[in-house]
Structure 1
Amino acid sequence: MTKSHMSKFYKLSITDRIIELERLGWLSPKDAENIKSGNHIITNEVADKMAENTLGIFGLPLSVAPNFIINDRECIVPLVVEEPSVVAGLSQAAFMARATNGFKACLSESYLTGQIHIINVKNIESTIIDLKKECSNLIFKANKIHPRLNARGGGVRNIDFKILNLQDKTSVISVHILVDTCDAMGANLVNTICEAMAPTLEKISGGKAILKILSNFLDHSICSASVIYNTDSLGKSFISGEEVRDRIILANQIASSDIHRAVTSNKGVMNGIDAVAIATGNDWRAIEASVHAYAARNGRYSTLTKWSLTSNGDLEGEINIPIKPGIVGGSLLLNPAANLGLELCGVETAKQLAEMMASVGLAQNFAALRALVTDGIQKGHMRLHARSVASLVKTPKYFFDDVVKKLVKSDDIKAWKATEILNDLENERVLSLVDSEFSAGKIILLGEHAAVYGKHALAVPVLNAVGAKASLSKNKTKININEWNLIKSIEREDYSGISGIINTIFDSLEINDLNLTINVSTILPRGMGLGSSAAISVAIIRAVSKLIEANISSEKINDIAFSCEKLAHGSPSGIDNTLSCFGRSILFQKNKSPNYEIIELDELPPLLIGFSRRSSHTIQQVGDVNSRYNKNMSQYDAIFNQIDDISCKGAKALKTNDYDALGGLMNICHGLLNAIEVSTPDLENMINIARENGAIGAKLTGSGGGGSIVALCPDSIDKVQQSLHQSGYETLRPFVSRGLKN
C-alpha cells in the first residue's frame, strides 16, 4: 500500500510535487505529463459545449491534501480551492489522525429520490391504497426503463407514496421513487424514470402528473464518519492538550445551540467537501443544498458534527452527512481534470468517494475548531492575505515565503510593507554575496538546437545570476543552494546530478583530500532553459579556485564547465558554459575557433522571461531532436540552415538596436522550433499572451519541452509582465550585459 504521508510536501516546487506523486504511484506517467503540460485543463471548444455563452476558462488551484487514512486505506485528497488554509488544515488534521489509524466512514445505502407530484385526484386516500397495491408492478416496470442500470446492479429499489396538503387546502400525491444509480451521480437516470413512469401513475390515479424530477435532498444516502484524536497531540506551546480538547467540545456545543455559529461551522465542513466535489467533477451545488436541508431536518438548523470525550479522555468526532457523488458519466466524460482528481483519490466506487468526502468534512471541522480555540482563525486568514499581497508586488519565488512570514509578523499587511521587506531581502542577498565569485545565466535569442549541429546561435547573458563561496570544512563536502531548497552532502564517487558537477570540478582542479562547504545563491530557477547548471558550475569553479589559490584562465574555467555540461546534458553545444564564463552577448558557433563572436551593445534589450509550469530537460530534448533528425535529415538540415541565417541576421539587428527586425526574426525562429517539435501548449499560450499584449517578438528559449519563453518588449514590458502574471506565470526581468566582462 502506497503511503500517503509526505513530509514537507508543501515545500516542494509544483514540478517536484508532481514528480513525487508519480514516484509514489499516486499519478500515472501520462497524468503527470498532462499536468506539467497543462493538458488536464479543458479547452475553450470543450467549454463551449458544456455551457452557454462561454467566454473562456476560469481557473482555480488544484491541490492535494496528503496523510489521510480512511477505513484503513492510505489516501491523498484532491482539492480545488483558493484558500491555502483549507489545504494546510486538512493535511495537518489527517496527519494527526494517523496516530489513531485515521478515519472510519460508512455509507450503508445510497439511493437517489425521484419525485412525481400528481394533482386533481378525486379520492386521495383510496388512490394511495391502490397505488401501494401496484407497488411491485410499478417497480418492475420502472426497472425496464434502464435495463443497463439493472445489469450493473442498480435500479429502482422502492416506491413510496405521500400526501401533501398545500396552502390552498388542496392535496397532492407525492410519489417517491428510490433509485440505486450505482457509481453515477444519476440525475439524468432518475429524471428519465420519473418522466417515463408518469403516464402509468396518471392512469392508476386518474390525476395529472405535474412535476417529474429528482430531489436533491439525499435522506436515503447518509454517510457517517468518525475519528479519534489523542488528547496529548492537541496542545500547543501555550496551551495544554486537555484544554484544547475541552474547548473544541464546548465550541461544538455552542454551534449546536446557536444558528449563527452552526452556519459558520457547517460552512467550514463544506470548505473541504466542496473542494473534493469540484476536483472530482461532482455537483457541489446539489451537495450544498442537501447538506443544509439536512442540518435543519428537525425544524432547527444545527451543526453537522459532534465532538465528545471518549472513555479514556481522548477527543472523538462524528459527522453524518447526506451525500451521493458519482465517479462515472456526466461532466466526467468531458473534463480531464475531473478524471485526474478521481485518479488522485484512488477510489474504485462512488461509495468510497462519499466516505472520503465525509471524512474530509470532519477533518476540516476539526482543523477549524482547533485553530479557533488556540491561535484564532484570523492568523490563517492573515497568512492568506499576506500571500496575495506578496504576489501583488511581484515577489520572486525564492523570497516569497520570507516576505509572507515577515508581512504576517509585521501586522501591517499592505503592498508598501511588502515592497519594503522585499527590498530589505534583496539588500541582504547582495551583502551575503560579498566576496562571492559570480557567473552569468544565458538567454538564447536565436539558434536553439541548430547550435548542436554546428549552426550559429545568438545569446545574451543574465549578469551576476549566480554567486558562490567556498570554505574549508571538517566534515564531508556539502553544497547549499538556498533558492532551490537544496542542501546536499557530496559523495566523492558519485557522478550524478549536482554531485557529478562538484566531483568533475574537483578532478579538474586535482582536489583529492579537501572537504569544502560551498554556498550558492542564484536568481535562476532550475530546469527553465536559462543555463542554470552551467552558471552554477562556473561560479563554483571560480570560488573553489580562489580558495585553493589556483590561478586558472577563463578558457580553463570554460573547459571545465563544458565537461560539467556534458555530464549534465549529454551532447551540449557549449553555448551555456561559454556565455556563463565570459558574461558577454555572443554569436556562438560550435566547433569553430574561437567559437564565439562578442557583440558589443549600446543599450540593454528590453527582454522579459516567462516561466512555464513545466521544467525543461535538455538531455532529453536534445536526444529527442536527434532521433527525429536521423529520420528526416534533409528536412531538419533545411530548418537548421534557416535558423543559422536568422541567428546571423539577428546579431546584426541586436548590434544596431533594430528591435523590429530582431522581434520578427524571433517569431520566425519560434515557428521553426515548433516545426521540430520542441514547443508545448503551455509555451504557446505564454507566447500568444506576450504577443497579444505588445511584445514584438516572443519565442521559447533553451531546449524547450517546457522551460521558458523570452519576449522582446520595447514599449510594453509592464503590460506583458502583468498579463503573464494574471495567467498564473512567473517572470524575470534579466539584466543584460553591454559587453563588459562578468
Structure 2
Amino acid sequence: MEIISGFSKLSKEEKMRWVLRQFADNPAQTEAEWKSFWHQDPDMQKLFDEFSENTLTNFYMPFGVIPNLLLNGELLCVPMVIEESSVVAAAGKAAKYWQSRGGFKAQVIDVKKVGQVHFLWKGEYNKLYCVFDELKEALLDQAAALTQNMRKRGGGILDLELVDMRHVLPDYYQIKATFDTCDSMGANFINSCLEQFAKTLQNWITANAMFDDSERDVTIVMCILSNYTPDCLVRVWVESPIEALTEIEGMSPQTFAFKFKTAVEIAKNDVFRATTHNKGIFNGIDAIILATGNDFRAVEACGHAYAARHGRYTSLTDCSIENGIFKFWIDIPMAVGTVGGLTALHPLAKKSLDMLGNPSAQKLMQIAATVGLAQNFAAVKSLTTTGIQKGHMKMHLLNILRTFEANDEEIKVAVEHFKTNVVSFNAVRELMEQIRQDKYIAE
C-alpha cells in the first residue's frame, strides 16, 4: 500500500478513489456500491459525514423495536439498533413474559459523574489539605462562568476533593470532582471545568504566600472525565410469586426458579461464565444506547469496571428466592444524555427519543437497564430450559441461507424443513445441496 500525506485534506471522492486503488479488484463497481449507501438528501449526507473523520459512506445497521415493554406501569415501544435478530426477539419475549406479572420496576439511585485533574507537586499533602477549602472556593469561583447554565438546570459541580496518590507515583495528586450534568451526558462540560480547575490550581499555588519557592511548581499531567461512574447508578428488577411463573418448557415453576437462580450464582462466581453473562446484558443495553445516539463504549467500560469493583469480575445481575418470591435484578451505572451531541443531530436518534416520549436522562437510564435485564432474563431462561441454540440458530437461519445465495423457493423449503430439525451451518449446506441436486435431476 502506498504512503499518503494530507489524506484528510482530500475531497470525499478523492479519499474514496485512493482507498479503492489500494484494494478493490473493480474500483468502479465498489465505488458505485459505496455511493448507493449515501443519503439521497445531500444536506443530510453532509451531516453524516461531519459526525466523523475521513468518511467515505454510511454503514447501515438494522433499526428494530421491542413493543409493549412495561416499565413502572408505563407501556413503552423501545428502539434497538443491533445486527443480531435473536437479541431483539429474546428481549421482546422477556417483555411479553413479564407484562402479565407486573412488568419491570426501576429507580435511579444516584446521578453523580466524575472528573479528575491529575497533577504532580513536590509540596506536603497536609499543607495543601489544610488550605484546600480556600482553594476549593477559588476553583468554584473561577469555573462559575462555565457552570452557570448547568446550575440553572439544577446541575453543576457537586463536590471537589483533594486525593493523595503518592503511594502510586512520587508527588502525584488528584483533584477529584463530582458533577450532576442533568439531561446531558456532560463530557464536554466536565472536561471544560477540569481544564479551568487546572489553570486555577497552578495560579493559586504560585501566588499563595504560604508556599515557598520549592512548592510553587505544579505539573498538570492531564484533565479528563472518568467513564467509571459508580455513583451514577440505576436499579431494575422483576419479581413474582414462584407459582405465577407457570410451567416453562415442561419444567415446574419451582424447578425453573431454582435452576435460574443457580445459573446466576454460577455467573457471580465464575469469570468465564460472568463474561458471557454480562455480554448478553450489553446486547440489550448497547442496542438502545446506539439507537438514542449515546456512547455505548463508555457505558460498557463503566459496566465492566463496576462488575469488577470488589476485586474480581462478576455478574451484573442477581437473583433471590425468599418466602416463595422470585426476584431478579440489576444494579448498573451508566452515564447517558438526552440533549446535546448526536442525540440532537442524528435524525434517527431524535426519532428514537420521540418514540420513548422524549425521556429525561434518568428515565433513559431506567429504560436501557431494563432492556439489559430483559435480555439477560431471556438468555438465562433459554440456557436453563431448551438450551441457547434452539432459538438462536433458528433466528440465524435466514442469514445462513443468504450465504448460500438461496432463492425464495429454496428459503421456503428450508424454513419448513428446520421447523422440526436442528439448525446448523452444515445442516443448511447439506439441505441446499440436496434441494439443488433434486432440482437438477428433475430438470
- Fold-level similarity (TM above 0.5): yes
More off after superposition, 212-221 vs 201-210: 201-210
For the 8 Å contact 1:393–1:419, the answer to whether it is kept is: no
For the 8 Å contact 1:407–1:418, the answer to whether it is kept is: no
For 2:252 and 2:194, the matched residues in 1 are separated by 56
The residue type paired with residue 356 of structure 1 is I
- Mapping 1:183-262, distance limit 5 Å: 183-205=183-205, 206=216, 207-231=218-242, 232-233=244-245, 235-262=247-274
| 1:14-47 Cα distance to aligned partner (Å, 9 max, x none) | xxxxxxxxxxxxxxxxxxxxxxxx8899954323
| 1:131-164 Cα distance to aligned partner (Å, 9 max, x none) | 2344345334433313222222221111122111
Judged with a 3 Å threshold, the aligned counterparts in structure 2 of structure 1 residues 333 and 347 are, in CA distance, closer, same or farther, namely: closer
Q: SS in structure 2 opposite 1:299? A: coil
Q: Residue 374 of structure 1 corresponds to which residue in structure 2?
A: 385
Q: CA RMSD in A?
A: 2.7
Q: Residue 356 of structure 1 corresponds to which residue in structure 2?
A: 367
- Mapping 1:413-424, distance limit 5 Å: 413-418=427-432, 420=434
Q: SS in structure 1 opposite 2:177? A: strand
The residue type paired with residue 147 of structure 1 is Q
Task: Choose 1 or 2 for highest CA Rg.
Answer: 1
Q: Residue 66 of structure 1 corresponds to which residue in structure 2?
A: 67
For 2:132 and 2:183, the matched residues in 1 are separated by 30
CA drift at 1:297: 0.7
Q: SS in structure 2 opposite 1:125? A: helix
Q: SS in structure 2 opposite 1:325? A: coil
Identity of aligned residues (%): 33
Task: Please tell me whether residue 146 in structure 1 is matched to residue 147 in structure 2.
Answer: yes
For 2:292 and 2:333, the matched residues in 1 are separated by 17
For the 8 Å contact 2:281–2:373, the answer to whether it is kept is: yes
Q: Residue 463 of structure 1 corresponds to which residue in structure 2?
A: none
CA drift at 1:88: 1.1
Task: Please tell me whether residue 289 in structure 1 is matched to residue 301 in structure 2.
Answer: yes
For the 8 Å contact 2:91–2:378, the answer to whether it is kept is: yes
Task: Please tell me whether residue 346 in structure 1 is matched to residue 347 in structure 2.
Answer: no
CA drift at 1:287: 0.5
The residue type paired with residue 278 of structure 1 is L
TM-score, L = length of structure 1: 0.49
CA drift at 1:335: 1.1
The residue type paired with residue 381 of structure 2 is R
- Number of corresponding residues: 388
- Mapping 1:152-551, distance limit 5 Å: 152-165=153-166, 167=168, 169-205=169-205, 206=216, 207-231=218-242, 232-233=244-245, 235-311=247-323, 313-395=324-406, 400=411, 403-404=414-415, 406-407=417-418, 409-411=420-422, 412-418=426-432, 420=434
Q: SS in structure 2 opposite 1:326? A: coil
For 1:158 and 1:110, the matched residues in 2 are separated by 13
For the 8 Å contact 2:72–2:103, the answer to whether it is kept is: yes
Judged with a 3 Å threshold, the aligned counterparts in structure 2 of structure 1 residues 42 and 274 are, in CA distance, closer, same or farther, namely: farther
Judged with a 3 Å threshold, the aligned counterparts in structure 2 of structure 1 residues 53 and 181 are, in CA distance, closer, same or farther, namely: same
Gaps of 5+ in 1: 1-37, 426-742
For the 8 Å contact 1:66–1:76, the answer to whether it is kept is: yes
- Mapping 1:486-635, distance limit 5 Å: none
Q: SS in structure 2 opposite 1:189? A: helix
Judged with a 3 Å threshold, the aligned counterparts in structure 2 of structure 1 residues 177 and 424 are, in CA distance, closer, same or farther, namely: farther
The residue type paired with residue 343 of structure 2 is L
| 1:564-619 Cα distance to aligned partner (Å, 9 max, x none) | xxxxxxxxxxxxxxxxxxxxxxxxxxxxxxxxxxxxxxxxxxxxxxxxxxxxxxxx
Relative contact order, CA 8 A, sep 6+: which one is greater? 2
CA drift at 1:284: 0.3
Task: Please tell me whether residue 110 in structure 1 is matched to residue 122 in structure 2.
Answer: no
For 1:309 and 1:41, the matched residues in 2 are separated by 57
Q: Residue 496 of structure 1 corresponds to which residue in structure 2?
A: none
Q: SS in structure 2 opposite 1:297? A: coil
For 1:135 and 1:401, the matched residues in 2 are separated by 70
Q: SS in structure 2 opposite 1:414? A: helix
| 1:685-713 Cα distance to aligned partner (Å, 9 max, x none) | xxxxxxxxxxxxxxxxxxxxxxxxxxxxx
CA drift at 1:255: 0.9
Task: Please tell me whether residue 52 in structure 1 is matched to residue 53 in structure 2.
Answer: yes
| 1:632-683 Cα distance to aligned partner (Å, 9 max, x none) | xxxxxxxxxxxxxxxxxxxxxxxxxxxxxxxxxxxxxxxxxxxxxxxxxxxx
Gaps of 5+ in 2: 1-38, 206-215
For 2:319 and 2:165, the matched residues in 1 are separated by 37
The residue type paired with residue 180 of structure 1 is D
Judged with a 3 Å threshold, the aligned counterparts in structure 2 of structure 1 residues 401 and 74 are, in CA distance, closer, same or farther, namely: farther
For 1:176 and 1:234, the matched residues in 2 are separated by 50
TM-score, L = length of structure 2: 0.81
For 1:401 and 1:142, the matched residues in 2 are separated by 65
For the 8 Å contact 1:386–1:408, the answer to whether it is kept is: no
Q: Residue 10 of structure 2 corresponds to which residue in structure 1?
A: none
Q: Residue 14 of structure 1 corresponds to which residue in structure 2?
A: none
For 2:364 and 2:438, the matched residues in 1 are separated by 48
For the 8 Å contact 1:113–1:218, the answer to whether it is kept is: yes
Q: SS in structure 1 opposite 2:182? A: coil
CA drift at 1:49: 1.2
The residue type paired with residue 369 of structure 1 is V
For 2:92 and 2:285, the matched residues in 1 are separated by 14
For 1:42 and 1:290, the matched residues in 2 are separated by 35
For the 8 Å contact 1:100–1:230, the answer to whether it is kept is: no
For 1:307 and 1:405, the matched residues in 2 are separated by 38
